[in-house]
Amino acid sequence: MRFATVEYQGRTFVGAVDKAGEKVTPISVGDINDLFRGARGEPKGPAIALSSVKLKAPVPLPLRNIMCVGKNYHEHAREFSASGFDSSSTGASDAIPTAPIIFTKVPQSVIGPEETIRYPTGVSEQLDYEAELAVIVGQGAGKGGRGIAKADAMKHVWGYTIINDVTARDIQRRHKQWFLGKSMDTFAPMGPWAVTADEVDLATAGIRCWVNGELRQDAKIADLIFDIPTLIETISAGITLLPGDIIATGTPAGVGIGFKPPKFLKKGDVVAMEVDGIGRLTNQVG
């Protein structure tokens, strides 16, 4: 199933989105985190046309953290290392990580579908996009979220959404650590909604990104260097995962710095991204 956080006639609520992506039916939960904790929302009230609501980021604040994975597709790891922007690598010989690279983005950087990615004028001149499958952690059948073995990891996945891991490449390079260049206000567009795990076939799902209609990224989720069970085992080894935690799993090749010369985002650019089974997330740079 697909669940959206929507604003309609001055109210914000969670609704189930139909298969056609045309209607949303309000359901009986406080907010979407209740679903991640195991609640089963029941329909309440009539379906509303999606065209008449404002979609918000599916997972609302307060959000504990957005855990992110760097360099998690082979081709992207190579393009990033070769770009000269990768302070974590000294060249082709160590382009492919031997253990997951985990960093985080400030939760308040999250915006919803169609909201504006604010160009950080005067702060960065090298803005880039990164389409990513984002895992939404669930209750895990009542088990604690620490020390999760790979074999049990998928029981802790409630579902998925899409995140654009917007990055200021000049800031990322200058400051070595990635936090600053990835956490600016509006740098985490999320959506268009949250889907339950059964909606995405990880073995076959594609992930794509367009800038102004030009296809830039086109890959398979199955090409992840470190798969979702490995990421969950790695993170939960010492950090208890909680329902509603988000893990952005990394971006495939085709980001702006992968081109020669680089194709950085400009004001007015429209970035659209899709993951099969989820939907399309679109935001404009302004």
Cβ-based nearer residue to Mg ion, 39 or 102:
102
Find the part of the chain contacting Mg ion (CB under 5 A) among 30-38, 152-160, 191-199, 243-251. Answer: 243-251
Q: What is the CA radius of gyration of the chain?
A: 18
Out of 79, 86, 128, 165, the residue judged to bind Mg ion by CB under 5 A: 165
Residue nearest to Mg ion (CB): 165
Out of 115, 128, 130, 269, the residue judged to bind Mg ion by CB under 5 A: 130
Q: Does 245 bind Mg ion (CB under 5 A)?
A: no
Contact 128, 255 (CB under 8 A): yes
DSSP 8-state class, residue 220: E
Out of 89, 172, 251, 283, the residue judged to bind Mg ion by CB under 5 A: 251
Cβ-based nearer residue to Mg ion, 23 or 169:
169
Find the part of the chain contacting Mg ion (CB under 5 A) among 79-87, 165-173, 207-215, 235-243. Answer: 165-173
CA distance 4 to 25: 10
Here the tokens at position 99 are 């253990």
Smallest separation, CB 146 to Mg ion (Å): 25
Instruction: Encode 93-104: b = buried (16+ Cβ within 10 Å), e = exposed.
Output: eebebeebbbbb
First to last CA, the chain: 33
DSSP 8-state class, residue 263: -
Residue ranges binding Mg ion (CB under 5 A): 130, 165, 251
